[in-house]
Structure 1
Amino acid sequence: MNYKRHMTVFGAIALAGFILFWFAPQFGAAIFLPALGAYFGARKAESDGPSQPKPALWAGFFVLVAIAMVIRFLVPEENFASFQATAENTILLWVYLGVLSLAFPLFGFLAYLQRVGRVAGQ
């Protein structure tokens, strides 16, 4: 496989998502972060060869998603709509953003390696 081409494509998608982030943050982040993770997945596949990701990475991803879901249920809905934090939930909202900013690139990384490893195994 041509991993350099994949790196170029994912880098361009990540750049477009980063530019879109300034105009529409939710859409830009949803494009930028997974593309960034996939870029690093292509980089790893180029240096180490195609392989399936470790189960511990998948476990880490699902733990991050579980943390985000728990926080989503703990913080009232009106605070997410306008993202106005009160004194009680400021830390929870920052943890929520941090968890999502780790989970999205990790998902792109894992999805790319999973696909490349499956294709190479055939």
Structure 2
Amino acid sequence: MFPVSDSIKVLWSYGEQDPIHGNHKGHNKNRGWKNMHLLGPHFKKSVQKDPLIQQWDVTVKNITIDASMDTIYWCKIFRVPDLKEKHHIIGYEPLLTKESKIQYKEKKSISEM
């Protein structure tokens, strides 16, 4: 079990082409790492709706996290809503389907991403 309330080291890289299994040549300077909180600490939603707080759901389709997978590498870039001034993220949570929740409970290594 991995400590989801602690930070996880996320490795990133990108290149002109998708890498061939295990070969990350060509990424040169386009790589790095960052410590991040992926699944925790959990944000506690307020029971009362605050008119100043906006919510933005980011979802994807056709992504399968199979219980047999040791690791999954997947990235998607989203355009944020048009904002006229500076905003802060005050919370986030994974949006999982019923099937994904079952796999997540059985295989906690999703926090390694």
- Range of TM-score over shorter length: under 0.3
> Which of the pair is proportionally richer in strand?
2
> Which of the pair is proportionally richer in helix?
1
TM-score (norm 2): 0.24
